[in-house]
């Protein structure tokens, strides 16, 4: 089972964030914030796009398709836009795996159950991925449920699956 990490940057410093990525062998950051701005300048999209590659980390922003703040996210998950976002995310992850590189899905909230990452994670779990939520260096939580927690199955999201 292929592993995908998730992380919330919350208020951690950029150096701390980089140390966590290195600790878990992560070389791809997939940002799922709908609005990739931050009061903490080093978590703005522009800063991450410019600075992560300096540390041999690739950066992708998928917030246009997978970002939160959509009202009823469970209903949004049934849309073609969400499907496109998940497919793009999987392409990035699989490309990383072909190079022996791990990926992390990033948003702001530290705890995944306070963030829309939980819905993305449940989808990926139902698609057969192992999801590991990073709380801190050496502190993770394994995803233990899929779409059924939200009254959905894969056919609701991927009608031709």
Domains of the chain by range and CATH?
Answer: 3-155 (3.90.190)
Interval 7-61: pLDDT, tens: 999 889 999 999 999 999 999 999 999 988 877 788 999 999 999 999 999 999 9
Q: Burial letters for 125-153: b for 16+ Cβ neighbours within 10 Å, e otherwise?
A: bbbebebbbbeeeeeeeebeebbeebebe
Q: Quick check: 161 pLDDT over 70?
A: no
First to last CA, the chain: 19
């Amino acid at each position: 089972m292929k592993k995908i990490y998730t992380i919330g940057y919350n208020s951690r410093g950029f150096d701390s964030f980089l140390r966590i990525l290195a600790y878990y062998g992560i070389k791809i950051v997939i940002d799922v914030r709908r609005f990739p701005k931050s009061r903490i300048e080093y978590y703005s999209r522009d800063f991450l796009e410019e600075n992560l590659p300096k540390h041999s980390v690739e950066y992708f922003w998928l917030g246009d398709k997978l970002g939160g703040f959509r009202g009823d996210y469970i209903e949004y998950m049934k849309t073609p836009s969400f499907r496109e976002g998940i497919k793009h995310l999987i392409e990035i992850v699989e490309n990383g795996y072909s190079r022996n590189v791990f990926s992390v899905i990033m948003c702001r909230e530290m705890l995944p159950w306070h963030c829309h990452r939980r819905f993305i994670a449940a989808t990926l779990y139902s698609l057969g991925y192992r999801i590991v939520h990073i709380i801190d260096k050496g502190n993770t939580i394994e995803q233990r449920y899929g779409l059924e927690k939200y009254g959905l199955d894969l056919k609701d999201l991927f009608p031709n699956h």
